Amino acid sequence: MNTEKQIEFDKIKTMWADLAVTEYAKEKIEKTEIILDEKELRRALLDTTNSRRMIEELGNPPVQNVTEITEVLAIAERGDCLTPYQLERVGSVLAAVERLIDYLRRGQKDGNPLAYYDENLDPLNELRDEIARQIRAEAVDDRASKELLNIRNQIMTTEDAMKQKAEQIIRSNKDCMADSYYTMRNGRVCVPVKKEYKFRIPGSVIDKSSTGSTFFIEPVGVAKLLEELQMLKIEEENEVYRILYTLTAMVSDAKASIEEDIRMIEKLDYIFSKGKLSIDLGAVEPRINLERRIDLVKARHPLMDKSMAVPLNFNLGGDTRGIVITGPNTGGKTVAIKTVMINCYMAQCGLHVTAEDADICMNSGYLSDIGDGQNLSENLSTFSAHIKNVMDILSVINRDSLIIMDELGSGTDPAEGMGIAVAILEELRKSEANFLVTTHYPEVKDYADRTDHIVNARMTFDKETLRPTYKMVIGEAGESCAFYIADRLGMSEEMLRTAVEAAYGKDAVESFKFHDRRDEEGQTSKKQLPAKKITKMKKQKQTGGLGEKFKIGDSVMVYPDKKIGIVCEPVNEKGIMRVQVADRKIYINHKRVKLHVRAEELYPADYDFSIIFDSVKNRKVRHDMGRKLTDEIIVYEDDGKNV
């Protein structure tokens, strides 16, 4: 059995997880189970209440995902150098810690106990300030150290000197230049020199144009400045690594404090997610008892639209341990028992419940049998699945369990199903557990009425509109609505008498109150529906078969080639005929053939068409067959092939 799925708590978890920020909180929500320790449960419910109150007063907390930092701390602990990006992530988390501390301290003004979690958070101001000062835009800032600033200034000065030197050479040797601008080739500052003047400019040839007419030369003076620049960049790299390693060491030293901050952020994210869920669902904090008592005032299923759901008032406890709910189909019985269980389940997970007021007992287990449970792979029918699930439930229940069962005893012969339903109820009663079941069997209602610790309840039904009202009345058995609905919808009194007698016997017929449907003239009014008749297909008059359309010997035109041919075989029942065209015989649909000249106009009445269509050999064999026994056979040709 999967109670969470049957009562749709899995969908609540999905909603809840979407309100969390950290991966830790999302995973913890997914693994959430009922709390069995009373002290822990009361503390969890108080956290939910306090978090909701703080969110309503101060807005959502400044919590961010900190999963990535765990890996960064591991790198720092190994002694590897953190990158500027990784250091910025550490700084971002520490800044979030500072914002969270400020958020919690504002909550202390109202005395919210949750606000004092700030004592467990350390913003590590020195480390955060150092990272913010030395790292910017995922790079080491120029002012991270005086030496780095000096080196980078020298680099800029040297790069400018290289460019100025190149420009000076271009101005001094305009006639030798292919262009008036210097260019960069392979990271070097070069001047564009015409091929014929390449020896006029002292320096190294770095590249040449695709045509070979221009050489890109690095002047000697520029080359000397490049050497200075490369030495400065080595110094810059060393200084950058010194700064990064220093910051990495600071992160490594603060690892324990940062990990504690992460744990606290994740814990607060989980707590605040419960408060967010309570706000979204319009829920309230339930009271908890250990007296096996459940009281719900205007409760609803959390997944139902608040404006559409009909509030459920429910109470169970004291001398009553079980409730048998009856009522019409689609009357809300299943929703009612699921509403009770999911609110109890949410409360025991430390969540608020969707009701105006709730007093809920702690349960050691939540067990349910809802749905048909069919499983083709295990060859389980509806009834088999129900019984298997019920037996699993009966094997683990105790007096502290809460059980719901829908359509008790359904899926089999009504008489036997009723007996099984009563037997199951008796076992539930003996276990002293709290339980709610739904049923249609009148005998089960009778059993509940005469058995201690079990009461009937019914889902009400509006007899005027013929619609369920989705309200539960505890202490009353639901009356059968099938005959009443059938009566109101126009079933004849004769049919109803037959139905009542079949269901309850002859004596019940006289006590059944039939609806008076007589009109003003005293006659029973009936809806006269227009009679419908079956229309038979008219048989078409036979005007001759297709075989009469063309006769052997007719001259015809074959489309689309418009060739003239002679009919060899008339049209068959499928509309196919055979025509001799030139030196071959073809089969063709009659729709592609048009009569040209009738055979009567071309040949005498007793003309032998075998002269045209048969070979001399076949005619001889046919003649022999007509006067004596012979072993010879007649060979026909189909498009030039023997058949």
Q: Could you read off the pLDDT of 410-464 as tens digits, one per residue? A: 767 677 878 888 899 999 999 999 999 988 777 888 888 889 999 999 887 766 6
Per-residue pLDDT, 639: 46
CA distance 503 to 489: 19
Percent of residues, the chain, with pLDDT higher than 70? 83
Q: Is the pLDDT score of 623 beyond 70? A: no
| 98 — pLDDT class (breaks 50, 70, 90) | very high
Residue 103's pLDDT is 95
In the predicted model, is pLDDT for residue 140 greater than 90? yes
Backbone angles phi, psi at 339, to 5 degrees: -65, -45
Quick one: pLDDT at residue 479? 61
pLDDT per residue as tens digits for the range 318-342: 889 999 988 766 668 888 999 999 9
Using a 10 angstrom Cβ sphere, with 0-12 exposed, 13-18 middle and 19 or more buried, the burial of residue 217 is buried
Residue 180, pLDDT score: 87
Residue in this structure with the two tokens 């320790």, named with its chain if needed: 37
Please give the mean pLDDT across all residues of the chain: 85
Q: Quick one: pLDDT at residue 63?
A: 93
234 pLDDT band, cuts 50/70/90, is very high
pLDDT band for 533, please (50, 70, 90 cuts).
Answer: low
Question: Is residue 626 predicted with pLDDT exceeding 70?
Answer: no
- Tokens 């069962």 correspond to 405
Least confidently predicted of 309-323, 556-570, 596-610: 596-610
* Helix, strand, coil percent values for the chain (each to nearest 5): 45, 20, 35
| Percent of the chain whose predicted confidence (pLDDT) is above 90 | 51
Quickly tell me which residue has 């339903």 as its tokens.
421
Q: Is the pLDDT of residue 7 over 80?
A: yes
pLDDT at 373 over 90: no
What tokens appear for 484 in the block? 């009443």
Residues 6+ apart with CB under 8 A from 226: 162, 188, 189, 218
Could you give the angle at the alpha carbon of 468 between the alpha carbons of 501 and 495, nearest 5°?
A: 25
- Mean pLDDT along residues 463-476: 72
Task: Please list, in sequence order, all residues whose beta carbon lies within 8 angstroms of the beta carbon of residue 334, skipping any fewer than 6 positions away.
Answer: 370, 406, 438
Instruction: Count helices and strands (H / E) in the chain.
Output: 20, 23
Give ∠ CA 474-480-486 in degrees, rounded to 5.
Answer: 140
Q: Which of 219-223, 417-421, 490-494 has the highest mean pLDDT?
A: 219-223
